Each structure stands twice: as structure tokens, then as C-alpha cells.
A and B are shown apart, each in its own frame.
Chain A
């Protein structure tokens, strides 16, 4: 494997991981844009999506390593359709519920109050994940204890699309991640720019008071945004699980921190910024893993974040907001 091939391989890995991070970062950013709340629970929502997907597959009876004959079978197709409809619905509904119970009553409270509430929700979800992973279900046969990672069925094959002889691996998994994310982003762009809801959402983000005055139901828009962000986290969790073949209760926290950093790096509240931030983080992680050391990757990402914030305090694409006096 020569240097160019190594670099190309790392670019593919970085891009795939970055896309997943971007999907989650979008959830943070959309909510922040509307209610200026860092929804700490978003990462854990993503984690619960993973467990939901695992449970559905367990219900369908797909073994952790389906045989070649099962791939392409009816239940294989059914599982895909079910996953991509049920999990986003589950996460969207759960996010709506969280907003309703834990955030909406605090809308007019000081900034710190909903933020702390979000942290609390994050911990509650984390514990739910721990229990979910520990319940005696067929689907969790592979897990040893509640806290240990659970194997996720290998629904998408690992074979190299570039042929067995190629040193660079580009598998259907990479294709799935990149194509699914890109099409989802396209849909999101259309929703935000072309639909009534998208226009209302942007109006609320710019000026909630004025939006209310022109007859927009601000609470409904915020609720819908939570649903949309939750659904994105749901899709992200399926893609993540299919890509990494594992689900564990702390993954929301691990991946959440990356997504969070991506949102801040790109300028929180800015949709395009989050996507760029996510891809950037994915690429930097891959490069650091390859060329420096896996152990120091987190530290490098962190120092990079601080570096960017020193020169651009509102993130790469974020615009400095001035307090109204």
C-alpha cells in the first residue's frame, strides 16, 4: 500500500464517519437555532435509536451475522423498510416528548435552567439505554452484561466494490453512508428552503416575537423541529449501527461529543456549518488516527476546536450575535 492509497483510504473512512457526525450535529444546530438551547440529550437519543433498531431486528429474527442467503431475502428488505420508518418515528416522537416535558415549561427561564434540564434528560436516557441493553431479549444474546457493547447484525456487506485486488476498500457500507446522508441533506435543504414549515422555522430562528406577530404558531414550529431533529438522529443511529455493527449505551455520549464539537466548529445554529464541521471532524479524526496516534485523536480535535474558536469565536460559518441593548 503506498502513501497515496493510504491517504485515499483515510479520506473515505473520514468522509463516512464525518457524514454520520454531520447528521447528528444537524440535530443540535436546528434546536439551537430556534431556542438557543444546547440539547445535551440529543446524543443519547441517537443511542436509544440504535437500541430501537436492534430490537426491531431481534423481533424479525435476524441473526447478528446473517448468512449470504438472507441478504436480499424478503425479511432483509422488510428489515430495511421497517428500520428506516420505525426508528426515525420513535426518535422523533421521543424528542417531541422530551421537549414537551423538560424544555417547553422552561422557555422563559434564565439560560442555565433549560441547559441543566437537558443535561438531566441526557442522563435519564443514558440510564434507559443501560437498562435496555440489559433486558433479557433474544436480540441481545451477544451482549455479556448490560453495559457491554451489543453486536448489530451485518446487514450490509463488507466486500470491496473496487474489486478484491484493490488496496483501497470502498464497501457498500461507505456507499450507503454517503448516499443516504447526501440524499437526506438534500431533503432537509428542500424542507428548510421550500416548504411553509421551513420558512416558518427560519422566521422563528430570526425573531420569535415578530414570527408570533405575523401569525406563526411558534410552539408548534419548535415542536416540529424537535421531531425533525429526532428523526435525523434516528436515521443517523441506523446508519451508524450498520456501519460499525455495534450498539452500546455510551455511544450517544462518545459520538455526541464529536457532533457537538462539529456543530460548534461550524458555527452552532448554522445548518451548512454543521455539515462542514461534521465532515471536517471526521476527516481530522481519520488523519490523526493514521498519521499521529489513535490515542491522541481526541486531544487533537479538542485543541483544534480551541484554536478555531480563538480566531473565529462564533465558529467557522457562524456570525457573531450581538446582544440587543
Chain B
């Protein structure tokens, strides 16, 4: 059966990821990636969140960065020592997820009955607005300074044989695997089926008794919640909420290109896409820039700075994938198929 095969894909992908730190430990320092990997895996979680809205239900969501930001700031406010709340790590991450879900539902409430294209604009606008609001409410969010310092969970601060980066790596990988596993299950339930049906044919789905507005609202909220959890993890990993412009449109587009390169609607695809796109962005380009600055004599040509190419890379990835392989590298399950 095809379904089992896809489950194998996911298991294989997670299995490879699980041995990365072990392989890493025998490599020379210049080639080690484990310390750089936690953000990549966190973005894979954003990718899974976006998959729920765009991949499964077919809503073009261009504002995931806003929900990542909401998660990061919620986490920062309720844990940072500059504010009186200081709740435990796990509670804070879950709370960030809940706040994200609530905001997602709030945005969805007035807009879910709109045409699909209009929704793209509303989410795009929302992504901009959240940055503005975070910047303007500087009494709460500390403006461009960001809220810091933030701590990690107790698990990562243990005195254990593994390095902090490795422990972070496995923590995020565990969360990612858990979310992927639960999503896999949800997709095989009536709830998940109604999401896929809505993507296939909204009118037919509503004639079958799927309430389109309510279903879209639910997927939107779940998607926002996952992104917010990812945001909380990111803030905790970086030790700071960062500044509002860290969560700009580019982040949303990166998330979109992740799920598209991996395969819209495919769970292992979203993870693979995240590894490829974020990996290129924050690992390959960074290492390339390091290397170039070592060999070149410091001429400041724009074309020679690898980080100046990232828009081009995301853009080309989207255009070329759409043109030649719009189903992505790991297309989603086509159920049945004997």
C-alpha cells in the first residue's frame, strides 16, 4: 500500500535526522552542522504549520511569520525575568501555541468566507501589521531591542554528556516527530479528510456537509498554533525574542517555498523542504560567505555576497518548481493506488 510507503518516507527522514549529530561528531569542525540545525528543525515545524493551511486545505497563507512572531513574543513576555509572570518553560510554550491559535482564529473569523485570493492579501497584510504593532507597542515588546534574556527548558541546561546544541537538536527533533506523527493520524480521520476535501473541491465538500468557514477557521487556528509554538522554541533557543523585523515577509515566503519544494500537502515533504531551503539560507550561504571573506581581498561587490542572493534563490525555487514539478520533491499520498 502506498500509505505505508509514505509513512516509511517520514520514518526514514526522521531516522536520518536522528543520526546527524553522531555523524557530525567525527567530522572536522568546519563541516559540523549540529549547532546550526535547531533553527532549521524549528522552521520545519513552521513548515508543518503552513502545510495545515496551504498544503491540506489549500488556503494560500502568506503571513505565517506573524504567528511565529506572536509565539516568540508571548513566550518572551511570560518567561522573561523583566516581567513578573515567569511561568515554567513547557507552560510558556503551550501558552504561546494557544495565543497563536486564538489570534489565528480571530483573523480567520471575519475573512474565512472570502474568496481564496482575497485571503492571500489579508494574510499578507496581517504579516505586515503584526510587525508594526510589535514595533509600536514598545512599552510591552521593548521595540527593536527585543525581550531578553530568555532561558531554555531544564532538559537543555542539564549537566549531561551531550553538548547543549545536541540536546537542543534532539529536543526539537522530538517535538517535530511528535507533531508529524499526530498530523499523520489526523489526516486519516474524518477531520483530516474534510480538510483535503475542501482543497479538492470546496463546493462539493460543502454539499457533503463540511462547513467551509468553520473548517477553514479550524485549520487556520491549528496552523497558527503550530507556528506560534515554533516561534516560542526559536525565541527560547536564541535567548531573545529578536526584533519585529526578524519576522518579515521574507520569513513567510521562505516557509512557503519550503512546503512547495517539499511537496504541498506532504508531511515528510515539508520537513525535507525546510532542510533544503533553510539549510541553504542559514548554513550553506553562511559557510560560503565565511569562505569568500577568507579568500577575497575585501572588494564590496553586491554580487559577491552570498546572502544577497537569497531572494533570488527563493524566487527561482518557487518559479521552477511550479513550472516543472509543481507536486514537489516528495508528493503527498494519493490514497488508494493498488
Contact surface of A with B, Cβ cutoff 8 Å: 32, 36, 38, 102, 105-106, 109, 111-117, 119-128, 130-131, 134-135, 146, 253, 257, 260-261, 264, 268, 295-296, 298-299, 302, 305-306, 309-310, 313-314, 321, 323, 325
Contact = CB atoms under 8 A, between A and B. Distances in A.
A109 B326 contact: yes
Contacts of B323: 102, 105-106, 117
Contact of B311 (A32, A113, A124, A264): A124
Contacts of B60: 112, 115-116
B170 interface: no
A120 B319 contact: yes
A122 B322 contact: no
B110 A306 contact: yes
A302 B316 contact: no
A127 B312 contact: yes
Interface in B121-140: 121-122, 124-126, 128-129, 132-133, 135-136
A264 B315 contact: no
Contacts of B311: 123-124, 126-127, 130
B125 A302 contact: yes
Interface of B: 54, 58, 60, 62, 110-111, 113-118, 120-122, 124-126, 128-129, 132-133, 135-136, 203, 249, 253, 256-257, 260, 264, 301-303, 308-312, 314-323, 326
A109 B324 CA distance: 12
A114 to B, nearest CB: 7
Interface SS of chain B: helix, strand, loop or mixed?
Answer: helix
B111 A146 contact: no
Contacts of B326: 106, 109, 113
Given A124-B312, A309-B114, 19 more contacts: A32-B117, A102-B322, A109-B322, A111-B116, A117-B318, A119-B315, A120-B257, A123-B315, A125-B315, A130-B311, A264-B118, A268-B118, A296-B136, A298-B129, A299-B132, A302-B128, A305-B121, A305-B125, A313-B113
Contacts of B113: 313
A115 B58 CA distance: 12
B152 to A, nearest CB: 33
B203 A325 contact: yes
A116 B125 contact: no
Contacts of B264: 112
Contact of A112 (B58, B129, B203): B58
A111 B256 CA distance: 16
B314 A306 contact: no
A120 B117 contact: no
A253 B260 CA distance: 22
Contacts of B257: 120
Contact of A117 (B110, B125, B319): B319
Contacts of B116: 111
Contacts of A305: 121-122, 125
Contact of A114 (B120, B126, B260, B322): B322
B164 to A, nearest CB: 34
Contact of B319 (A32, A102, A130, A298): A102
B117 A38 contact: yes
A325 B201 CA distance: 12
Contact of A253 (B125, B135, B249): B249
A27 to B, nearest CB: 15
B329 to A, nearest CB: 15
Question: By CB atoms of chain B within 10 A, which of A261, A295, A309 has the most?
Answer: A309
Contacts of B253: 119, 123
Nearest to A307: B110
A309 B319 contact: no
Contacts of A302: 125-126, 128-129
Contacts of A109: 322, 326
A321 B114 CA distance: 11
Given A115-B117, A134-B302, A257-B128, A120 B308 contact: no
A42 B45 CA distance: 31
A257 B126 CA distance: 11
B315 A122 contact: yes
9 contacts: A38-B121, A109-B322, A116-B256, A116-B322, A120-B320, A127-B308, A127-B309, A299-B133, A323-B203
Contacts of B260: 116
A296 B133 CA distance: 8
A131 B309 CA distance: 9
A256 B326 CA distance: 26
Contacts of A261: 121, 125
Question: By CB atoms of chain A within 10 A, which of B121, B124, B203, B260 has the most?
Answer: B121
B316 A124 contact: yes
A1 B163 CA distance: 66
Contacts of A146: 302, 308
A325 B202 CA distance: 12
